[in-house]
Amino acid sequence: MSNGARDLGGQPLAYPSVPNTYPNSTIVCIAPGPSLTKQDAYLIRDAGLPAITVNDAWMFARWAPVRYASDGYWWSNSPDAHTDYPGQMFTLEYGAPRKVVKLGYKSSAILSNDPTWLATGGHSGYAAVNLAFLMGATNILLLGYDMQVGKSGMHHAGGDKVGQKHPRYEHWIGRYPGLQAALSDYGVTLINCTRSTALDIGQAELSDTVARAVAFRVHTT
């Protein structure tokens, strides 16, 4: 589908579809908020849950089978994130390397059920949740979605990069209740398991939530 987007010649742009890789599963979206730890990422890995890393969070979860960043600029300036990486990679901009799958998007949409485009909510973390939904998740866990400055004064785990834009937390936070409600309409739960967060959509302790997800998977397989 074209998603209404057009090329320079005015012709509709066709986008590939997100594969339904993990039907009826729990998928963890890992963002690079300042409270993110490798310990938490290892917990996800050891539980065998699929994960989508957002931007620089891949450095805390190199094993994750999916990497996502909306911005082509990020991909072009993060060669270690895609060189020799065998997993799935997605973006929204054509500035990314060719092997990164480019999807359509709508910034104003709450949730897309069309596998050719994502609702973005203004940032990559939101779009990653929509990606998890399209990949088949029935439970989506958030990790590293702090939406606030960390105790060290940094916005990102591992420190802020020179010239890195400061996040628009208040704008982003306001979009999540609508996203959570839209997902619920499809029978999908959205749970925030971030250690320290300003995103108030219902917070749960990570280890307990992961244990329940694993128990459910065992029971239904």
Q: Identify the pLDDT of residue 166.
A: 61
- Model confidence at 2, pLDDT cuts 50, 70, 90, reads very low
DSSP secondary structure, 98-148, as one string: TTSEE-EEESS-S---STTEEE-TTSHHHHHHHHHHHTTEEEEEEES---S
Q: Is the pLDDT of residue 11 over 60?
A: no
pLDDT at 1: 41
Where residue 91 falls among pLDDT bands split at 50, 70, 90?
very high
- Is residue 6 included in any domain, yes or no? no
Within a domain: residue 77?
Answer: yes
Averaged pLDDT, 145-153? 77
Torsion of CA 19, 98, 162, 160, to 10 degrees: 20
Report the Cα 94 to chain-centroid distance in Å.
Answer: 19
How many domains are contained in the chain?
1
Confidence of residue 171 (pLDDT cuts 50, 70, 90): confident
Q: Note down the domain range covering 39.
A: 25-158+167-220
User: Is 11 within the bounds of a domain?
Assistant: no
89-93, 119-123, 157-161: least confident range: 157-161
Window from 82-86, 128-132, 154-158 with minimum mean pLDDT: 154-158
In this structure, of 24-28, 133-137, 208-212, the range with the lowest mean pLDDT score is 208-212
Confidence at residue 162, expressed as pLDDT on a 0 to 100 scale: 44
On whether residue 15 sits in a domain, the answer given is no
Residue 212 within any structural domain of the chain: yes
Distance CA 177, CA 199 (A): 9
Residue 57 is predicted with a pLDDT of 96
What band does 179 get if pLDDT is binned at 50, 70 and 90? very high
Give mean pLDDT, residues 137-148.
94
Q: Is residue 8 part of a domain?
A: no
Residue 105 within a domain: yes
> Does the pLDDT at position 62 exceed 90?
yes
Looking at residues 20-45, what average pLDDT do you find? Answer: 95
pLDDT at 48 over 80: yes
Instruction: Please check whether residue 105 is in contact with residue 92, taking contact to mean a CB–CB distance below 8 angstroms.
Output: yes
pLDDT digit string, tens, across residues 109-120: 999 999 999 999
Phi, psi at 48, each rounded to 5°: 75, 25
What rounded mean pLDDT belongs to the chain? Answer: 88
Q: Where are the alpha helices (DSSP H) in the chain?
A: 38-47, 72-76, 79-82, 124-134, 169-173, 176-185, 206-220
Whether this model's pTM surpasses 0.75: yes
Q: Mean pLDDT across the stretch 206-218?
A: 85
**Within-domain flag for 13:** no
DSSP state, 161?
Answer: P
